[in-house]
């Protein structure tokens, strides 16, 4: 029997289009059990805070049973909760509480690979003729004993691991403890979709699909060609990683994925209002893949790439390039934009040198992100302006950072505990020693400090999210970019008969924009200082303007 809540089947099945989704990394959000690790009861306890922001949904990163070699992205049971995070009943209670607060619930689905501890893999690796022998990607060695081809793991080294029981290699695009599932096998697809249905029946409103373009591989196992050095892009893997040396034509982003995503969407459509957002990791063909995966209304609802999660500074020129390319390439699809998440350095630090990291700069970035055409993911602590935490090597947990230290420090710096109370033990996250340190430098940014400051970044997010909800063009409208200079990013959002002009001044001095005979009214309550003055718009330095076109 389904535990779906009325919110899941409400009239607005299009809720995801323009939704603001708050990502929760369970290990670091709130510990309710006193073991130093966040959990589902802790999430439920803090959901009123999330609802107070004015977001539409929460995305919960993995909480499934796992040996935690990649902290939940190595799943050993697709239909349960790891005891570290609680129980199925805790999950149901958390979903119920979210729905009571008007929040939809999106959970991660890691379908490209499992843990090597999953019973499926344990059976698969035992012999070449068991019932699950081809549920994973197995291949013979070359005559000289080397791996079947030149494919590389994102986490370093070959993407192939030898197994002595079968005398074969198996594929792993990530850790060797994360063997790739063989989705060319229909039985594997059926099993994964059965797990998807399990969570839909428990009331979830959608899924974030991890590594969505890694589901299929080339059955011929052809070598990837080398990539010209000038084409290398560090948005998917750090530049010290030889993964960037290849053009990944054959180990991911394969055409067979379209048919599987159509099967996935057909299942979701049985549950009114259920939606999915895919993570596309492809530095060369990301937009084309997003276009393929979100077009036609019969695959996933939206996707995000790493264009705005990269280290490239958010100049007006770069923003126009990224958004313009999306609008040109992904014609009938839908974007999901993000500046930070659990896999990248927090943008308060990532862009600090080039853009600035003062509250004024971060408010402007929030205004830009929340005004683009598309849905938005906000990462926990982003609304507080948390910078990347500086951790000692001895404190690292992330195998990715440990592998490439010190040139690349991994992902732990963006995963440290949420800052609730500046003066409490561990900032209110836990009464025990946290799984990652609580940086003292973060304490002044804690929720309780920002709650009492009307000019804080937290209060700015609340004001702007309320402003955004009040103006439909900013949620679901079309976008028309303007060609300006490197420090002025401007566009119009249109929905129905309403048009809103948005201008963002990225410069250190005020900007004056001529109206050229057009009539415009300053929209109040955005939290920004730009205004119409006579026949011009005046936008203060590192500020924005929102106006209703009459």
- Tally of residues, the chain: 550
Element (H, E) at 92: helix 88-100
Retrieve residue 322's tokens.
């990224």
How many angstroms separate the CA atoms of 284 and 226, rounded? 13
Phi-psi region of 458 (alpha: psi -120 to 50; beta: other; left: phi over 0): alpha
Retrieve residue 424's tokens.
């409490």
Closest Cα to residue 109, out of 68, 155, 75, 152? 75
**Separation of first and last alpha carbons in the chain:** 52
Active-site residue identified among 31, 56, 180, 210: 210
Tally DSSP H helices, then E strands, for the chain.
Answer: 14, 19
How many angstroms separate the CA atoms of 325 and 317, rounded? 12
> Would residue 190 show up in a list of annotated catalytic residues for this protein?
no
Task: List the beta strands (DSSP E) in 239-321.
Answer: 275-279, 302-304
Return the bridge partners of 503, or none.
Answer: 490, 545
Are 513 and 472 spatial neighbours (Cβ–Cβ below 8 Å)? no
CB atoms within 10 A of CB 43: 26
Active-site residue identified among 230, 270, 394, 440: 270
Closest Cα to residue 47, out of 1, 4, 99, 84? 99
Burial class (CB in 10 A: 0-12, 13-18, 19+), 129: exposed
> Would residue 270 show up in a list of annotated catalytic residues for this protein?
yes
CA Rg value for the chain: 23
Q: Which residues are catalytic?
A: 210, 270
């Amino acid at each position: 029997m389904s535990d779906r809540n009325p919110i899941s089947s409400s009239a607005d099945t299009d809720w995801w289009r323009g939704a603001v989704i708050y990502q929760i990394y369970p290990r670091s959000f709130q510990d309710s059990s006193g073991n130093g690790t966040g959990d589902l009861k802790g999430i439920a306890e803090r959901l009123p805070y999330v609802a107070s922001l004015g977001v539409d949904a929460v995305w919960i990163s993995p909480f499934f049973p796992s040996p935690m070699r990649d902290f939940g992205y190595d799943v050993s049971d697709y239909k349960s909760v790891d005891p570290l995070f609680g129980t199925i009943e805790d999950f149901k209670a958390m979903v119920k509480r979210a729905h009571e607060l008007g929040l939809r619930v999106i959970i991660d689905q890691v379908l490209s690979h499992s843990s090597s501890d999953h019973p499926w893999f344990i059976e698969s690796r035992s012999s070449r003729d068991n019932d699950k022998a081809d549920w994973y990607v197995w291949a013979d060695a070359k005559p000289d004993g080397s791996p079947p081809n030149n494919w590389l793991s994102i986490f370093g080294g070959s993407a192939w691991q030898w197994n002595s029981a079968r005398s074969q290699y198996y594929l792993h695009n990530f850790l060797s403890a994360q063997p790739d599932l063989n989705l060319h096998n229909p039985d594997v697809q059926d099993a994964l979709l059965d797990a998807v249905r399990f969570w839909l029946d428990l009331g979830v409103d959608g899924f974030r699909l991890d590594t969505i373009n890694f589901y299929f591989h080339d059955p011929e196992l052809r070598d990837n060609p080398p990539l010209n050095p000038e084409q290398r892009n560090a948005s998917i893997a750090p530049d010290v990683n030889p993964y960037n040396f290849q053009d990944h034509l054959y180990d991911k982003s394969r055409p067979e994925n379209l048919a599987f995503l159509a099967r996935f969407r057909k299942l979701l459509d049985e549950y009114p209002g259920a939606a999915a957002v895919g993570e596309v990791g492809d530095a060369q063909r990301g937009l084309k893949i997003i276009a393929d995966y979100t077009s036609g209304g019969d695959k996933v609802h939206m996707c995000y790439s790493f264009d705005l999660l990269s280290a490239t500074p958010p100049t007006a020129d770069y923003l126009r390039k990224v958004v313009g390319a999306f609008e040109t390439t992904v014609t009938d699809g839908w974007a999901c934009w993000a500046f930070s998440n659990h896999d990248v350095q927090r943008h308060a630090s990532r862009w600090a040198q080039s853009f600035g990291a003062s509250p004024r700069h971060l408010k402007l970035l929030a205004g830009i992100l929340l005004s683009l055409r598309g849905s938005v993911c906000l990462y926990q602590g982003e609304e507080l302006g948390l910078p990347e935490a500086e951790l000692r090597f001895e404190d690292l947990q992330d195998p990715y950072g440990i592998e490439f230290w010190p040139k690349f420090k991994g992902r732990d710096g963006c995963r440290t505990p949420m800052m609730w109370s500046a003066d409490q033990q561990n900032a209110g996250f836990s009464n025990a020693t946290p799984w990652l340190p609580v940086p003292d430098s973060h304490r002044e940014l804690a929720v309780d400090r920002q709650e009492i400051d009307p000019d804080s970044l937290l209060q700015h997010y609340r004001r702007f999210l309320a402003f955004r909800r009040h103006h439909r063009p900013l949620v679901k409208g079309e976008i028309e970019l303007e060609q300006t200079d490197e420090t002025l990013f401007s566009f119009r959002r249109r929905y129905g008969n309403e048009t809103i002009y948005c201008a963002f001044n990225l410069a250190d001095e005020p900007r004056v924009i001529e109206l050229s005979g057009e009539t415009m009214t300053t929209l109040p309550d955005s939290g920004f200082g730009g205004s119409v003055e006579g026949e011009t718009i005046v936008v203060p330095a590192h500020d924005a303007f929102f106006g209703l076109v009459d």
